[in-house]
Amino acid sequence: MFNLLFAEAFKLRHRLRAWLGPLLIMVLVLIAFPLSIDVSQYDLNKFYFSIIVISLLMISFLATESIFSEDYEDGSLEQIYLEEKDFYKVALTKISIYVFFIGIPMSLIGSVFSFANGVSADELPKIFVVLLFSTLILFNLFAFGSALSLNKGAMLGVLVSLPLTLPVIVLLGRAVRTIQYGEGFLEVLALLLGVGLILMAIMPLIISATLKTHLE
Amino acid sequence: MQLITANNLSYSINENQLFHNLTFALDSGSGLHVKGGNGSGKSTLIRILLGLTSPTKGEVIFPEPSPFISYLGHKNAIKQYLTPLQNLDLMLDSSSLESAMTWMRTLGLARVQDEMTATLSFGQQKKLALIRVLSNPSDLIILDEPFVGLDDSSRDLLSKFLSARLDDGAGLVLTSHIDPQVSCDELILREKEDV
């Protein structure tokens, strides 16, 4: 497992465009949005978090778009199958590494930008944790979409995984309200973490079966 | 010791039957050269033996414990954005790296070991991919068109290596349009015929 973790981290680290690209686009979106509309700081505070959530959704999709396709196209998936006999560990490792290398920085960027747009410093750690757990869920869902559309273009992945992300968006909205009103935050956070962990356990199984089907 | 037993393997895709009731066994120290025209099902048979593709009918049986298999197919399984050395680090255990470095020198890849793999020629990339097979102490070697893209001296080296591995007791299954110059049984696939 450590070898897999090391190998996936090594590969992603050398694919600058795969991890830095999504992060830069997120920064760009979060900078460009307030510049493109004419609102007061007071108004911006109210809905800036929605922009962060939507950019988190889009960037998560973008980041995981090629999570399996590169290994599929160059034949590495076949070699992995011969060694491991399934793709559970590989899928789990890849999602973990992507959350570590892209999800955590995305959550940090989201937190910092929400701070820059009027969210108080006390609420910053709460926003970071909410974004991080959401990223965990989104990366699992989009990784499934990516596995499903491995050689069929990205559209199938979007069509399948996007509806699954809608409850996450609703949950995130709920989390923001609890942060604003100071009640029930831990409950929503526990729900996000629970869903994230369940997906983390189940989704690699589904992804493994999906990838095997593509190799057939 | 039998490394693979294939029982009544059949494979059809859509209405097209590639092969039917194919039965053979491969012992350690013996080789099988799968021959046939384009589209006759050579690569499909290899993938079925590896468990990558399911046969329409029949089964492939491996002994327990399963033999350690080295495989190189049509895709090289190397990363274009890494150097050859980094690729070797990624694909091999530390115990095989010393042998891999020797093969890098033998195959003339040492001088490009720090260049980006994307800049290497087709033949050089094929050699790099072959090092995965050459450096691993496998019980069974399965190769799909391994000689394509190799120059004459590298072909000779590969043939000698495969012969030596057969002498050591490894098994070999390969497809090749080029004479492998290795002592092997032949299995000829013809379209729409029983074998």
For B142-170, what is the mean pLDDT? Answer: 89
Interior angle at CA A64, CA A59 and CA A68, nearest 5? 165
Distance from CA of A67 to the nearest CA of B (A): 14
User: What is the DSSP annotation of A94-154?
Assistant: HHHHHIIIIIHHHHHHHHHHHHHTT--GGGHHHHHHHHHHHHHHHHHHHHHHHHHTTTT-H
pLDDT of residue A116: 72
Q: Which residues of B touch A (CB under 8 A)?
A: 50-54, 69, 71, 73-82, 86, 89-91, 132
Q: Residue B47 maps to which CATH number?
A: 3.40.50.300
Of B53, B77, B82, the CB nearest to A75: B77
Q: Is residue B113 part of a domain?
A: no
CB contact under 8 Å between B69 and A73, yes or no, is no
* Chain A residue at shortest CA distance from B78: A74
Checking if the pLDDT of B193 tops 60, the result is: no
Of A11, A14, A79, the CB nearest to B77: A79
A210 CA to centre of own chain:
20
Checking if the pLDDT of A153 tops 50, the result is: yes
Taking the CA of residue A27 as centre, how many other CA atoms within 13 Å lie in the half-sphere pointing to its CB? 11
Q: What digits encode the pLDDT tens for the residues B86-124? A: 999 988 888 888 888 888 888 888 899 899 999 999 999
pLDDT of residue A40: 66
Residues of B in contact with A74 (CB under 8 A): 75-80
Domain that holds residue B181: 1-68+139-147+169-195
CB contact under 8 Å between B73 and A78, yes or no, is yes
Of B81, B90, B132, the CB nearest to A15: B81
User: Touching check for A81 and chain B: CB below 8 Å?
Assistant: yes
User: Touching check for A2 and chain B: CB below 8 Å?
Assistant: no
User: Touching check for A88 and chain B: CB below 8 Å?
Assistant: no
Q: Is residue B187 part of a domain?
A: yes
Distance from CA of A175 to the nearest CA of B (A): 41
Q: Assign B194 a pLDDT band (cuts: 50, 70, 90).
A: very low
Of A11, A75, A85, the CB nearest to B73: A75
pLDDT of residue A26: 92
Beta strands in chain B (DSSP E): 2-13, 16-27, 31-36, 57-61, 69-72, 140-144, 171-175, 185-189
* Chain B residue at shortest CA distance from A85: B51
Q: In what order do the strands lie in the sheet with B2-13?
A: B16-27, B2-13, B57-61
Comparing CA positions, the residue from A80, A59, A57, A58 lying closest to residue A11 is A80
Of A10, A75, A216, the CB nearest to B76: A75
Q: Is residue B110 part of a domain?
A: no
Overall domain count for chain B? 1
Distance from CA of B80 to the nearest CA of A (A): 9
- Mean pLDDT in chain A? 87
Q: Which residue has the tokens 């053979």?
A: B24
How much is the pTM? 0.87
Checking if the pLDDT of A215 tops 90, the result is: no
A122 CA to centre of own chain:
24
For residues B135 and B98, is the Cβ–Cβ distance under 8 A? no
In this predicted complex, what is the ipTM? 0.85
For B120-136, what is the mean pLDDT? Answer: 90
Checking if the pLDDT of B58 tops 50, the result is: yes
Distance from CA of B19 to the nearest CA of A (A): 17
Q: What digits encode the pLDDT tens for the residues A79-118? A: 999 888 889 999 999 999 999 999 999 999 999 888 776 7
Q: Assign A210 a pLDDT band (cuts: 50, 70, 90).
A: very high
Q: What digits encode the pLDDT tens for the residues A163-199? A: 888 888 888 888 878 887 777 888 888 999 999 999 9
Checking if the pLDDT of A152 tops 80, the result is: no
Q: Assign B195 a pLDDT band (cuts: 50, 70, 90).
A: very low
User: Touching check for A10 and chain B: CB below 8 Å?
Assistant: yes
pLDDT of residue A41: 62
CB contact under 8 Å between B90 and A7, yes or no, is yes
The three-state secondary structure class of B122 is helix
* Chain B residue at shortest CA distance from A212: B52
Going A139 to A142 to A143 to A146, the CA torsion angle's sign is: negative
pLDDT of residue A97: 95
pLDDT of residue B192: 58
* Chain B residue at shortest CA distance from A8: B90
